[in-house]
Chains A and B, each alone.
Chain A
Amino acid sequence: MRKNTMFRLVRYFSVTSFVVFVIAVSFFASRSRIASINDLITVREQSNAELAQVYANIIWADYGEFIASAATLDTDDLRNSPTLAALDTILRTYTAGLSVIKIKIYAPNGITVYSSDLAQIGEDKSANPGFVTALSGGVASELIYRDTFNAFEGAIVDRNIVESYVALRPSGTDRIYGVIEVYDDVTPLMQLVDMRQRRIVTGLVIIFTLLYIILFFIVSYAERILRRQGQEIRTQNAELVQVNQKLHHAHQLAAESARLKSEFLSTMSHELRTPLNAVIGYSGIIIEGITGETNQRTLGMIQKINMSGQHLLTLINNVLDIAKIESGRMELVESSMNIRHVVEDVQAQIQILAENKGLTFNTHIAADVPQAVIGDADRIKQILINLLSNGVKFTEQGSVLLNIEWKNTYMLLQVTDTGIGIPAHAQDYIFEEFRQVNSSSTRTYQGTGLGLAIVRKFVEAMKGTILLKSEVGSGSTFMVRLPLKVETSERSAG
C-alpha cells in the first residue's frame, strides 16, 4: 500500500544514515591515522639519517677500514674482536639519552659487522631491500612493532620502532664503507598519534551525531507533514466521494426529469397534432374550393383559422426542438454537404415571404466557399430560415440579404436587414426562449419567440458562435460562425 511505504521514511533514514555515518567515520579516521603515521615515519627517517651521518663521521677514522674489511673475518673472531668492543662503547656513549635504542652496522657485502645484540653479528643481510637501497646511497625506513626488543639496555617490551637503513659515507668522501641501521623508539610518538586519533574520531562522531540528529528532526518533521497531508487527502477523498455520489444522484434525477419532460413534450406534440390536422385539413379543403363555393366573408374567416393552425404548428415544432436540445437528445447529423444547395432550398421559401412584403431578398455566396463541407445540412437550413424569416418579419421596407463567406476554418453566415433594429438593452436576451424586444411586439409581429433561441442552440451544438449588430431604425446583422471541416476526399460532391 502506498500510504505504508510513505510513512517508513524515518525508519529508512535511521538505518541507511547510521550505516553511512559509521562508514564515513571509519574512513576519515583510518585516512587520518595513515597520514599521521606517514608523517611520523618521514620525520623520524630524517632524524635517523642525520644521526647515522654523525655516527659515520665519528667512527670512520678509527673504524672505517675495520668495517670495510670485517667481512673477511670469521664470525667468532669478529664477536671477540677488541675493536668491536671499542666501537660498541663509542656508539653506546653517543646514543645515551637519545630515542635511538639500537644500532647495527653492515659491511658492503651484507654481513652484520656490529650489533648491540652480539648474537646477530655475522648475519647476512645482503638480500634485505632496505640494505640494498642504503648501499646505493638512499635511505629506507619502516615502522615496526615488537613485543620484546633487544635494545642497548637489554630487552624492552611493547615498542613501536622506526628502523632506517642509511649509507655509511663519511662527510667529504664519496666512498660508502657499509650501511648503518638505526632503530628509533617512537612508542611515545605513537601514543601521541593514537591520542590525536582518538580526538579526531571523537570529533567526527560528535559532528556526525549532531548532523544525524539535525537530519533526523528534519526527516521526522517531513514525515509528520506527509502524514498530515495524507490524512487530509484521505479526508478530502472521502468528502469528494460523498459529493460525487450526491452529484451522480442529482445528475440521475436531472437526466430522469429531462427525459420525462422530453417524453411529455413528445406526447403532447403528438396529441396536439391530431386536432391540428383537422383544423388545417378541413379549413384547407374549404380554401381549396374542393367542397364548392364559399362566400368571401366566410372564406376570410376560414383562412384565419388555417393561418392560426399553421402558426400553432410552428409553435409546437419549435417547442419540440427546444425540448430535444435541452434534454440532450439532439444529435447532429453530419455529412458531406454543399451550402449552395441549402441556400437554394431556403431561397425559395424566403423569396415568397419577401415578395409578399415588397422587400428585396438577395443571397451571395463567395466563390471560395468550399463545395463540400462536413455539416448538419438540415440544422444549418433551419438556422438560415429562422434568421431570414425573422429579417423579413421585422423589415417593412428595404432589403434582406444573406451573405456567406469562408474564413479558413469557419463559415461565416451573415443575415442583414434594413428593419426596425434591436435596441442595445434587448440584444442580450433576444436569444432567450419566448423573448421578443417587448411584449407588445409579440402582438405586432406574430411569432413564437423561439426562432432565435433555436438558432442559438443549434449554433452552440455545432460549436459555433452567433453575434448581433443592430441599431434601432437602421436594421440588424446576425453573424453566425460555424467551424466546419472541408470535405477533401470528395471535392466533386457539389
Chain B
Amino acid sequence: MSQQQSPFASKDVVIIDDDPNSLEIAQILLEKAGAIVHTAVNGKEGLAVIQKVTPALVICDLSMPVMDGWSVIKAMRGNPELKTIPVIVLTAHAMAGDREKTLDAGFYNYLTKPLFPSMFIQDLLVALSNHPLFNVKS
C-alpha cells in the first residue's frame, strides 16, 4: 500500500493515550500510512487538539488521568461540529461487554491493545469499514 493510495493520506488523525509508548507506536504506523498525526496524553488535551484541527479520525484510550475516553466521547457528542468525527477506542481493557458499552456510548468501533504493527492499519480500516471517508474499494 503506497502513500498515494492510502485512505489516511494527508488526513488529520488525533491520538489520545496516556501511555507514551502506545502513542508513539500508533503515531509511527499512521504517519507511515500518510496521516498527519496529532497526539495528546489525556482527554482534556485531546479535546483541545480536536477542536483546533477538526480531524478526520480520533483514536482514543479509555482510562486516562485528568479526563477519560468516556468524557471525550460525551463532549464530542454534544458538539455539532465534532459529533460526526469517528472515534475508535484503543484500549488494553479486553473484557467481554466493554465493546457493547463503548458502541452504546457513541464510539465508532473498538480495538484492543497490544496493537500489531503488521496488521494495525488493516485492522483500523476494517474498524472504519462503514465510514464513507475511509471506504476503500480494493
Contact = CB atoms under 8 A, between A and B. Distances in A.
Interface of A: 266, 269-270, 273-274, 276-282, 284-285, 287-288, 290-291, 309, 313, 317, 320, 324, 329-331
B113 A284 contact: no
A372 B118 CA distance: 35
Interface string B21-41: 110010011001000000000
**Which of A281, A282, A288, A329 has the most CB atoms of chain B within a 10 A radius of its CB?**
A281
A276 B116 CA distance: 11
B117 A287 contact: yes
Contact of B118 (A278, A279, A287, A313): A287
A281 B96 contact: no
Contacts of B113: 273-274, 276-277
A274 B117 contact: no
A309 B113 CA distance: 12
Contact of B22 (A266, A281, A287): A281
A288 B22 contact: no
Interface stretch (B74-82, B87-95, B129-137): B87-95
A274 B25 CA distance: 12
A273 B95 CA distance: 12
B92 A277 contact: yes
Given A279-B114, A281-B22, 9 more contacts: A273-B112, A273-B113, A274-B19, A277-B114, A280-B114, A280-B115, A281-B115, A285-B29, A285-B117
B96 A274 contact: no
Interface in B102-125: 112-118
A285 B25 contact: yes
Given A273-B114, A277-B115, A309-B114, A282 B21 contact: yes
A270 B19 CA distance: 12
A442 to B, nearest CB: 24
The 4 closest A-B pairs by CB, nearest first: A284-B117, A281-B25, A277-B114, A273-B92
B114 A281 contact: yes
Contacts of A278: 19, 21-22, 25
B19 A284 contact: no
Contacts of B22: 274, 277-278, 281
A330 to B, nearest CB: 8
Interface string B8-29: 0000000000010110010011
**Which of A278, A282, A291, A320 has the most CB atoms of chain B within a 10 A radius of its CB?**
A278
Contacts of B29: 285, 290
A317 B114 CA distance: 12
25 contacts: A269-B92, A270-B93, A270-B94, A273-B92, A273-B114, A274-B21, A277-B22, A277-B114, A277-B115, A278-B19, A278-B22, A279-B114, A280-B114, A280-B117, A284-B116, A285-B117, A287-B117, A287-B118, A288-B117, A288-B118, A290-B29, A309-B114, A324-B96, A330-B96, A331-B96
Contacts of B93: 266, 270
Contacts of B112: 273
Nearest to B63: A270
B132 to A, nearest CB: 27
Contacts of A291: 28
A276 to B, nearest CB: 5
Nearest to A262: B95
A270 B92 CA distance: 5
A290 B32 contact: yes
A277 B94 CA distance: 13
A277 B21 contact: yes
